[in-house]
Homo-oligomer: A and B are copies of this chain.
Amino acid sequence: MSEQMGIQSVCFSNPPYLISSSSVVGTKEREGPLGGKFDVEGEDDYFGSDNWEAAESALQKKALEIMMGKAGVVPEDIRYLFAGDLLGQSVATSFGLQSFGIPLIGLYGACSTAGLALSLAAMTVAAGYADLAAAVTSSHFASAEKQFRFPLEYANQRPLSTTWTVTGSGAFLLPSRKKAEEMRKRAFREKVYAEEESELVSAKWTNRYDVKITGVTTGQIVDFGVRDSMNMGAAMAPAAKDVIETHLRDFGRVPEDYDRIITGDLGKIGREILIHLLREKDIDISGNHTDCGIEIFDCEKQGTGSGGSGCGCSAVTLSAHFLPMLFSGEIKRILFVPTGALLSKISFNEGQNVPGIAHAVVLERCDPCKPK
């Protein structure tokens, strides 16, 4: 059995479904253009915790709980949890997820981690190693500022090129076809599943059984020599370009094969660079490209610089904004490309560049699995 496509992709012969997801966000996200679409929108950004790191852990815990609740599964049903965050030693993940008792694959890909988690969860389910796997990622504005730049109390000014780390966590549930059929059957029996539901508000709360992850392209580190930690979009755009170009070549596709090509958190500056870099390779994605970091904030009104960023940015935007569009049939196939900037406070202070990495995941609507 070989499912390898091209030089760095996999096309699943037995693709997993993505049937449930959740999004938990903070106040700034609630006030943005997608406000009202998220499952939980915090009253404040503490989520009942007394420090920012614990608040981020609380986000992950809540996201996983809600996602499991929607799907009617318990932690024992989930065989692997693929998860990560931006903090040193991934402490938001460790302390957020420890109570579930699910075997944990800890990941680090900076803000590309949502792509990495979905890729590996899909590979694991498609290979038959699990009937049900979950992916969770998070970021928090205040814990990220403290981790990468300055504590909020320092009140430093931010150049317009900076992105604003999203306070949020998204969780996703991937069953095998067999498991999806079982779950759909049960949901149908319990009448919690709406056969022909098309309104977004219902799709948000109702499991659907017609979106699959059909392929992935795993990215490599790309260093274009950017040294400005206040311009992450520029640092990550070359990696996004690299993985999108490779993906299209590996799958023999053109940008128009996708209703949307959705990067994670390039922001406005990164988007421009990405489109420019791909044009140099005769690939034009300007018509169907968008970026989660651009969708989630109204930068001019909200003062969020170039856009949103963080492991949570792409995860919550996929869950609250793009998945419902896939479920409703408004769009049929997307290429989801979370992007990460590889730096730490130490690497930055030691004068290292900020290389980027990005991972691409194909999500598509297909014939729903039918209960027998």
Which single residue of chain B is at the shortest CB-CB distance from A246? B103
The residue in A86, A128, A129, A355 that gathers the most chain B C-beta atoms within 10 A of its C-beta is A129
Contact stretch, chosen from A263-271, A317-325, A330-338, A339-347: A339-347
Contact assessment for A219 and B342 in the assembled complex, using a CB-CB cutoff below 8 Å: no
Which single residue of chain B is at the shortest CB-CB distance from A346? B53
- How far is B344's CA from A132's CA once the two chains are assembled, in angstroms? 30
Contact assessment for A342 and B94 in the assembled complex, using a CB-CB cutoff below 8 Å: yes
Q: For residues 35 through 75 of chain A, which have their beta carbon under 8 Å from a beta carbon of chain B?
A: 51, 53-54
- How far is B126's CA from A73's CA once the two chains are assembled, in angstroms? 28
| Range, interface on chain A | 35 or more
Known contacts A8-B79, A88-B345; 15 additional CB pairs below 8 A are: A8-B103, A51-B350, A84-B108, A91-B346, A91-B352, A94-B343, A94-B347, A101-B220, A103-B218, A103-B220, A104-B357, A105-B107, A105-B120, A106-B357, A127-B129
- How far is B322's CA from A300's CA once the two chains are assembled, in angstroms? 60
- How far is B80's CA from A220's CA once the two chains are assembled, in angstroms? 9
Q: Does A95 contact B (CB under 8 A)?
A: yes
Q: Does A155 contact B (CB under 8 A)?
A: no
**Which residues on the B side are within 8 Å of A2 (C-beta)?**
128
**Which residues on the B side are within 8 Å of A1 (C-beta)?**
127-128
Contact assessment for B127 and A54 in the assembled complex, using a CB-CB cutoff below 8 Å: no
Q: For residues 97 through 119 of chain A, which have their beta carbon under 8 Å from a beta carbon of chain B?
A: 97-98, 101-110, 116
- How far is B235's CA from A336's CA once the two chains are assembled, in angstroms? 38
- How far is B102's CA from A253's CA once the two chains are assembled, in angstroms? 22
> Given that A98-B355, A346-B53, A350-B53 are known contacts, is A106 also in contact with B104, CB under 8 Å in the complex?
no
Q: Does A27 contact B (CB under 8 A)?
A: no
> Given that A4-B130, A84-B108 are known contacts, is A347 also in contact with B98, CB under 8 Å in the complex?
no
> Given that A89-B344, A346-B53 are known contacts, is A127 also in contact with B127, CB under 8 Å in the complex?
yes
Q: Does A145 contact B (CB under 8 A)?
A: no
